[in-house]
Structures are given as C-alpha cells and as structure tokens.
C-alpha cells in the first residue's frame, strides 16, 4: 500500500504544472478545507522527503514520510491561528505555523518568508 501511495505522490508531483501566481489562503478558506477529512501529498523542501497526509476535522493528522530509502508514519495535531495553519508532530518540540498559498492546483507552505514545501489536495 505504501509503495502505491509513494508512486502516486511522485507521479502527481511530476506531471502537474505550476502557475506563476500564488494567493494566500484566508482563515475562512482554511476553515472550509479543514471542515472535513482530506488527504494531501507533497514534498518537504527543508527535509527532502515526500509525504502523504490525512487531515482529520477533529484536529489530528497522520503523515506517511519517505525519502525513497526509509519510511515512517507520524501522528500529530493541527489548528488554525488567524490565516495560518499550525501543526505539530509527536516528535516536534514546538508548533509550526505556516501560511498556505494556492499556486495553480498546488498548495505551498510558507513560513518566515520561505517556502517550506508544497503539496496537492487529493480527491
């Protein structure tokens, strides 16, 4: 199952174009997105890993990470704070809050003026 998810993630990241304009998602847009369970697949620029995440409306999430050699699943929590989506994993020391920007069909995570990663919302 994880190989299938990883293959799908890599394929999805390879074939989707990116537009030149990114708009920041507002608190209302983030509330709508997180009002139901959703799935995302993407790539962390800072850590160089791909992931598939399940976001639950009760404020929890599960993330499957892989760097192509090793893989692991981490659980964590998320919450909205203004126009930021904040989250922490069970192995993090503190919460991380990022802006989410829509860039074509891709969502980018931005914090401290730097793009941390990008992902796609899966159906």
- The domain limits of the chain are 2-122
| Strand-strand pairing, 49-55 and 84-89 | unpaired
CATH architecture of the domain covering 2-122: Beta Barrel (2.40)
So what's the pLDDT on residue 54? 93
Residues contacting residue 117 through CB under 8 Å, at least 6 positions apart: 42, 43, 44, 45, 46, 108, 109
DSSP designation for 68? S
pLDDT band at 31 (very low <50, low <70, confident <90, very high): very high
pLDDT band at 1 (very low <50, low <70, confident <90, very high): low
- Is-contact 118 44, C-beta < 8 A? no
Q: Which of 2-16, 19-33, 45-59, 104-118 has the lowest mean pLDDT?
A: 2-16
- Predicted TM-score (pTM) of the model is 0.74
So what's the pLDDT on residue 121? 87
Residue 85 pLDDT greater than 80, yes or no: yes
101: phi then psi, degrees, rounded to nearest 5 = -120, 135
How many CA atoms does the CB half-sphere of 56 hold within 13 Å? 9
Give dist(CA 52, CA 114) in Å, integer.
21
């Amino acid at each position: 199952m994880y190989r299938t998810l990883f293959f799908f993630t890599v394929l999805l990241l390879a074939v989707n174009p990116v537009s030149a304009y990114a708009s920041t998602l507002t608190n209302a847009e983030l509330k709508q997105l997180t009002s139901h369970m959703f799935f995302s697949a993407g790539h962390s620029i800072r850590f160089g890993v791909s992931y598939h995440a399940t976001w639950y409306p009760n404020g929890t999430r599960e993330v499957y990470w892989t760097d192509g050699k090793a893989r692991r699943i981490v659980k964590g929590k998320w919450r909205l704070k203004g126009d930021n989506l904040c989250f922490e994993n069970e192995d993090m020391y503190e919460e991380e809050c990022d802006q989410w920007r829509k860039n074509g069909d891709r969502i980018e995570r931005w914090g401290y003026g730097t793009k941390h990663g990008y992902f796609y919302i899966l159906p």
